Structure 1
Amino acid sequence: MGEPAYARPALLVLTVLAAVLYTWGIDHSQYHTFYANAVRSMTESWKAFFYGSFDPGNSITLDKLPGFLWPQALSARLLGFHPWALVLPQVFEGVASLLVLHRLVRRWAGVHAALIADTAFLVTPVAVGLFRTAVEDPAFTLCVLLAAEATQRAAASGRLRLLLPAGVWIGLGFQAKMLEAWAVLPALALVYGVSAPIALRKRLVHLGLAAVVTAAVSVSWMLAVTLAPAHDRPYVDGTTNNSAFSMVVGYNFLNRFSSLGVSAASTGSVSAVQGGGGGRGGAHPAPGAPQGAGRSGFSGARGGGRAGAARRAQHTGAPGGGSAGGAGFRAGGGFRAGGARGPGGWGGGGQDGWSKMFGTSLASQTGWLYPFAALALVCGLVWRRGAARTDRIRSGFLMWGIWLATYFLVFSAGSVGGHTYYMGVIAVPLAALTGAGTVLMWRAHRSGGRRAAALPCAVAATAVWSAYLAAQFPSFLPWLAPVVGVLGLAAVVLLVAARSGRAPLAGRLALAGLAASLAAVLLAPGAWAAQVFDPAYGSSGMGAVGPSGRADHARGAAGTAGGRLGRPGPMAGTTRDRTARAGGAAGFGGFGGFGADGTLTADQRRLLAYTTAHRGSAAYVFATTSWSGASPYILAAGAHVLPLGGFSGRVPFPTETRFRQLVASGALHYVLLGGGRDRGFGPGAGNTTTATARITDWVRTSCTPVPASAYGGTAAPAAGAVPGTPDAPDRGGETAALYRCGAGH
């Protein structure tokens, strides 16, 4: 194929390095505190596997499509249910994504562009953090890359049979990330519609057929759920009408654009109908985060947000940390996604509004290559404007440019919160444009003329931007900003000198300038990505690598202090510091995480043994008033615990009538209630009109409390009590209590 001898060994090195980055410390992985429950349930039965049931009893689904969890559930079935087994599929998806990106860029712009693109993708911090995190985006990223690869091949030949697989891959990406997968369609459709070497009518017919395939694969699971009798399947979380379409379109899509005035009130979305959390539907806690986590982050004390911001300032060098009104943590309300001015915060650095993509929280994970990719895109389109309609180079720049612009606008307009791993789909076109742009501008530089200035300008702009980003974190690698600046200056000087020098010196100067250019462009993101090897930083549960991980550690320490003082603390850390995790959970009065390894406390084990022994023929060992209350028992034992209210605590499942029927029929005998009036942990916490609130009141008045001495405990354990810490009262002022309901209670 005319490739240089070093091409395949270089690709092998990049592939091995990717595998090392993605697997480093995998034995210390943590469960995602919401998704892992579903994976455990999905290993218990194929029915739960298909529907993505949150609990082994198949009572309610996730509030997402389950496709992204199918590989995790299969891995757990084969290798056992361990945190690392749930992360392993994402590692394979990451390595596969790197290889598909290489094939895409090589076919488009050549092997050198492909190797540079792979390197750029590999050193982008969010790409490293993404494929170490058990969330939706790794599978989604791989699917859209495969769709782009299929479209590229189809556009080169104009063959329908090559285009239809792209529709299949987009449909599979939909199963992982829902409507976000369709955001790539404008890029793929325009490339085929513009550049395929066939008549316009045929191009449009082919695109129409591919759209049918895309839609059919995309809605296949939703149709299956819709056609199944409601009594034969679990309730669809996130909705008031038990509709998969409401969950996808209203709860997980329209709600995220409430800042634009978009309303999901007519879709059956629980967030839109019942209020609160508008625009943040479906956001989940990070791995190792407290079990009482709110919808778009983590519940805690209002003052804890200020404490967390102060500690972030110590590690990021942010002047004054975050604003008290920004990245704070609200009691019963969840994380405030935005407003904080500290660069390292979960929502700091302008993480809300149209400028969020340039805020330091996201840009430091994703956007180091913004200037270089932007100039490469402009050059690629302008310099090829006179080429034939079927020009391969121009069509490639068109595809990656529209891909980048579309997702950039979607994330700018929609709610992102602290979910850094969303940005993986941005890292892909940035890497591709960097690879192809380097080759394009290098050739222009060697040819001379006005276009020769493009490469030095791109390097200078990127070096300045990288130095600026690095300077926002002065206590993290303080040498990075000046080194990047020096490399950028050296690269520009060498490239300019090469144009004015004489051969063979000019050739050597140009090659030295190219090497310095690549170093100046890739050093800063590479330094951040390499922090996965440093346990003090590592990667966070939201896909961030670098100082954000250190900020998590600080928050965990703050939670420890809160626990010792007997008052609520900020979010528990997501690093591997078990003490910090335990302290953070205890800071929530026992409603935090139960330990990232899924172990139960002694009191929890005794309660589970008691309810199991007295369960009889009941379908459930007991019910709880939140998913977080059920989580420890599902993760540790696969227990059939009935969670009330879904993820938000406000889903009308089961209704009070249905709950009484379960009790009357003998399907349920025991209920574990948290004390006080706090119903659930979503935006509607404390809402006394929810079905869960009414059920709670009925249980308290109609059922018999079970004394803790009956199962050998001193008090009913709070849902998330941590080993080694006393069971603390919940936020309502009472300890959790077990009740016996039904005939003979």
Structure 2
Amino acid sequence: MEGNEMKAFMKRVDYLLVGILLFSLGLNFYHLNNAGTNTYYTAAVKSMMQNSHAFFYASFDPEGFITVDKPPVALWIQTLSAKIFGLSDFSVLLPEALAGVISVFLMYILVKPNFSRTAGLLSSLVLACSPIFVAVVRTNNVDSILILTLLIAAWAVMKAVDQKKLGWLILSVTLIGVGFNIKMLQAYMVVPAIFLFYWMAVKLTWKKRLLHLIAATVVMAGISLSWAVAVDSVPASERPYIGSSQTNSVLELAFGYNGIQRLLGQNKGTKSMGSASTAVQNKDNSSTTNTSNGQTPSNQSAAASGQAQGTTSSSNNQGAAVTDSSSSSNTQAPMGNGAPPNFQGGMGGKMGGGTGGMFGTGTAGPLRLFSSELSGQISWLLPFILFAVIGLFAEFRKTKKFDMRIKFAAFWLTWLIPMMIFFSMAQFFHQYYLSMMGPAIAALVGIGWTMLWNYFTTNDGWKSGLLPCGILTTFLFEALILNQNSQSKFLVVGTVLVGVILFILMVQRMKKETYSPALPMAALLALLILPLYWTGITINKTNNASTPIAGPGSGMGGMGGMGGMGGGARMAANMGFPGGAGNIAPEGAQDTSGNSASGSQTQDGSMTPPTNQDSASIPASAPANAGKTMDNRNQLNTALLSYLEKNYDGEKYFLATDSTQTAAPYILNTDYSVMAMGGFSGSDPALTPTKLEKMAKAGYVKFFLISGRGGMGGNQSESVTQWIKDNCEEVPSSEWQSATSSQIQTSFGRFGGETLYVYKD
């Protein structure tokens, strides 16, 4: 590059943007290798690395018995990263963290052309500081890649409007279709914004606009359903069972469990949480068949009741049983959408009042996003946006022109408002889903500051007071968030005082003829201090990888009254839940709590067990040295592993377990394939007793590890469990448990006891 070209390039570089991107990079990558992963997905990544069959279907296990509960695109990206850099926490998290930084950059690219450089910079900075956005990009949950995909779709539709070319619109909806294959219907939350903006902004006749949008809809539907239709078209005997579905169908998973149940709750069509004993509906599973890799007689197996090894996290949108009017209720799954039976109606009935509260997301209603459960996640700057919207309406009424600036702002409002409505009403979601609101909030803050600053400097009547009033109101709301979360009273009072002082100073400046943006800009930047403080807490805490929560809340994802109260971990531990609160994971498998979920990778590709222990995961009644026998974070029973290796005769499946929760550590720490008979929660009807018998007689599986929770997996899993008990021999615990681990099992009682069975034909 020659001298003049270099100078021109340097002039084009926005150094403030570079600083914001480096800041975002630091937040996203800070101790990333210790952030932990959702082992449900990490195990799938390792399995997908081993063969193309598992890769295509996003199979949880290498042999392709059952899939995870999400489409494969984001997991494909994680798998490619692991292929390049080797399987580790860092390689799995790398794509997500990078996607977060790129999203921050795209905010600048999107906002600057229609408003100003200042608006673009502010939008990027706000997104970079958003607590729940930073929390989710530091996990291998797929939301970060989804958000990036949708932001690129937004950029493409704006190119379509600018150039009046159908091709850009097709690119935009194609990316939404790709987003559907990342996290299904969650990608469609931006469709109203994309379509409405194109209709309002592109300068074409209404007939052409209509034809373009019809064509775009067809393309979007085709891309969205391509993988689902391809998978559902394959005979069940030649592919894995679709995890978290009740009919072995991707389409049912997309529109049921990952669709309507998000709004109406997992218990739709079933009894209430307080009626766990009667919540199981009769269903016909006789037609459900499956064979892994087309080799086994069937991959269909009902989940053995409960989960093994005391693993309690099944309550989630990951693996809790999918329910509809004909399926078994999730209340039967341990720590599922409903808690275990003895939780129902317990604790004063304060499990959250339904599915929504169960995950610590507060009570559905118009003020839900301002509740103590959700306000600290993404809502910090919503009051400022309210004043920005008032300013937008005021400008429209004054000019009577619906110009591109107004249309661009309307695009982000159409992104934000439907999401606010959904999260105010929905019964089945987790705090980190709110990260989807991050881009719209960031854009509207940047846009709002620009517009309100113009009103402030022109001294345009009552509108000139919108900026100082918006800043004061937002400071007061931030103080409320601090108070809701039991922060220092000094910090609460200090926040109020800072807001009042800045308000007074800004009002005094309004009386002068000349204005400097320094004070208003400093006031707005001061509003970012507390969200950044919340983000700092988030990146420094552990047990936050499975269901990330921003701020000081518990990483357990919220369990009604226990969520975010600090006592949840101790309560879980005292009740005998290994892994404590960190392992109650409503979106996936156990959190790896800040250490490698997969341990370290050896030269032959196997994963050595992690060594760091979490003392909170051992019940009070357990022996003092219990952590030396079992890896409590990954629930790996090393004594069992040793026994199985000595008695393994080359079966297709090294071990069969109730659920993915028990299977994941053995997949991650060995090169064996483990069959999770009931999927994530243990209640997927993936197998019948008849099919399991055929598999056992064919020599595909010999050992079965069954939990002692009894009857939590539904009728189908109970019948499979009963077949195992009737047709297999119990292995004396003295042969596969050390004295210490045996005492742990005893201390876990009903919720943790395990039994190992061996099939002998």
Structure 2-normalised TM-score? Answer: 0.80
> Secondary structure, in 3 states, of the residue corresponding to 2:686?
coil
Contact 1:717 1:735 in 2 (8 A): no
Name the amino acid aligned to 1:117: S
Q: 2:675 corresponds to which residue?
A: 642
Describe the shift of the 1:303–1:594 C-alpha distance in structure 2 as closer, same or farther (beyond 3 A): farther
> Secondary structure, in 3 states, of the residue corresponding to 2:705?
strand
Describe the shift of the 1:488–1:82 C-alpha distance in structure 2 as closer, same or farther (beyond 3 A): same
Could you list the per-position Cα deviations for residues 227-265 of structure 1 after superposition, in whole angstroms to 9, with x for gaps in the alignment? 222211101122232111111111221222336996599
Cα deviation, residue 363, structure 1:
1.0
CA distance in 2, matches of 1:660, 1:588: 38
CA distance in 2, matches of 1:134, 1:585: 26
User: How does 1:477-496 map onto structure 2 within 5 Å?
Assistant: 477-496=488-507
- The percent of aligned pairs where both chains have the same amino acid is 27
Q: CA RMSD, aligned part only?
A: 3.8
2:349 aligned residue (315, 325, 329): 325
Aligned length: 673
Contact 2:613 2:631 in 1 (8 A): no
Could you list the per-position Cα deviations for residues 485-507 of structure 1 after superposition, in whole angstroms to 9, with x for gaps in the alignment? 233223322222222124xxx42
Q: 2:469 corresponds to which residue?
A: 457
CA distance in 2, matches of 1:389, 1:214: 32
User: How does 1:313-712 map onto structure 2 within 5 Å?
Assistant: 324-327=348-351, 337=355, 347=360, 350-384=362-396, 391-417=403-429, 419-450=430-461, 451-474=463-486, 476-502=487-513, 506-507=514-515, 510-532=516-538, 534-535=540-541, 541-549=546-554, 554-555=566-567, 558=570, 562=574, 571-572=581-582, 576=594, 581-584=614-617, 586=619, 595=631, 598=634, 600-612=636-648, 614-615=649-650, 618-675=651-708, 678-679=710-711, 685=712, 687=714, 689-690=715-716, 692-708=717-733
CA distance in 1, matches of 2:496, 2:206: 49
CA distance in 1, matches of 2:500, 2:414: 31
Please say which of residues 576-585 and 438-447 is displaced more in the overlay.
576-585
Describe the shift of the 1:567–1:534 C-alpha distance in structure 2 as closer, same or farther (beyond 3 A): closer
Describe the shift of the 1:40–1:499 C-alpha distance in structure 2 as closer, same or farther (beyond 3 A): same
Cα deviation, residue 3, structure 1:
12
Describe the shift of the 1:187–1:588 C-alpha distance in structure 2 as closer, same or farther (beyond 3 A): farther
CA distance in 2, matches of 1:714, 1:568: 17
Cα deviation, residue 653, structure 1:
1.4
Contact 1:113 1:438 in 2 (8 A): yes
Please say which of residues 593-602 and 218-227 is displaced more in the overlay.
593-602
Describe the shift of the 1:404–1:594 C-alpha distance in structure 2 as closer, same or farther (beyond 3 A): farther
Cα deviation, residue 708, structure 1:
4.9
Cα deviation, residue 570, structure 1:
5.6
Name the amino acid aligned to 1:700: K
Contact 2:137 2:144 in 1 (8 A): yes
CA distance in 1, matches of 2:144, 2:496: 33
User: How does 1:13-412 map onto structure 2 within 5 Å?
Assistant: 13-258=19-264, 282-283=317-318, 294-296=335-337, 302=343, 324-327=348-351, 337=355, 347=360, 350-384=362-396, 391-412=403-424
CA distance in 1, matches of 2:223, 2:686: 29
Name the amino acid aligned to 2:476: V
> Secondary structure, in 3 states, of the residue corresponding to 1:347?
coil
> Secondary structure, in 3 states, of the residue corresponding to 1:30?
coil
Contact 2:569 2:581 in 1 (8 A): no
Cα deviation, residue 61, structure 1:
0.9
CA distance in 2, matches of 1:404, 1:660: 52
> Secondary structure, in 3 states, of the residue corresponding to 1:501?
coil
Unpaired runs of 5+ residues, structure 1, are 266-270, 286-291, 307-323, 329-334, 341-345, 680-684, 719-724
Could you list the per-position Cα deviations for residues 432-473 of structure 1 after superposition, in whole angstroms to 9, with x for gaps in the alignment? 000011011101211222221221221122112112112223
CA distance in 1, matches of 2:699, 2:374: 51
Cα deviation, residue 549, structure 1:
4.5
> Secondary structure, in 3 states, of the residue corresponding to 1:513?
helix
Describe the shift of the 1:104–1:686 C-alpha distance in structure 2 as closer, same or farther (beyond 3 A): closer
CA distance in 2, matches of 1:637, 1:298: 31
> Secondary structure, in 3 states, of the residue corresponding to 1:668?
coil
Contact 2:180 2:224 in 1 (8 A): yes
Name the amino acid aligned to 2:549: A
CA distance in 2, matches of 1:293, 1:76: 32
Cα deviation, residue 629, structure 1:
2.4
Describe the shift of the 1:610–1:737 C-alpha distance in structure 2 as closer, same or farther (beyond 3 A): farther
Contact 1:24 1:532 in 2 (8 A): no
Describe the shift of the 1:25–1:129 C-alpha distance in structure 2 as closer, same or farther (beyond 3 A): same
Cα deviation, residue 699, structure 1:
1.7
Name the amino acid aligned to 2:32: I
CA distance in 2, matches of 1:297, 1:142: 33
Q: 2:309 corresponds to which residue?
A: none
Please say which of residues 254-263 and 244-253 is displaced more in the overlay.
254-263
Describe the shift of the 1:6–1:728 C-alpha distance in structure 2 as closer, same or farther (beyond 3 A): farther
Could you list the per-position Cα deviations for residues 515-568 of structure 1 after superposition, in whole angstroms to 9, with x for gaps in the alignment? 342134222212212224645x795643323211487694476168628xx788
Describe the shift of the 1:533–1:220 C-alpha distance in structure 2 as closer, same or farther (beyond 3 A): closer
Cα deviation, residue 641, structure 1:
1.4
Name the amino acid aligned to 1:399: F
Could you list the per-position Cα deviations for residues 134-159 of structure 1 after superposition, in whole angstroms to 9, with x for gaps in the alignment? 11211111111111111112122321
Cα deviation, residue 104, structure 1:
0.6
CA distance in 1, matches of 2:568, 2:20: 34
CA distance in 1, matches of 2:701, 2:67: 19
CA distance in 2, matches of 1:604, 1:181: 42
Name the amino acid aligned to 2:636: L
Describe the shift of the 1:144–1:540 C-alpha distance in structure 2 as closer, same or farther (beyond 3 A): same
Describe the shift of the 1:567–1:494 C-alpha distance in structure 2 as closer, same or farther (beyond 3 A): closer
Cα deviation, residue 273, structure 1:
6.0
> Secondary structure, in 3 states, of the residue corresponding to 2:36?
coil
Name the amino acid aligned to 2:370: F
CA distance in 2, matches of 1:588, 1:136: 38
Cα deviation, residue 280, structure 1:
7.6
CA distance in 2, matches of 1:101, 1:407: 18
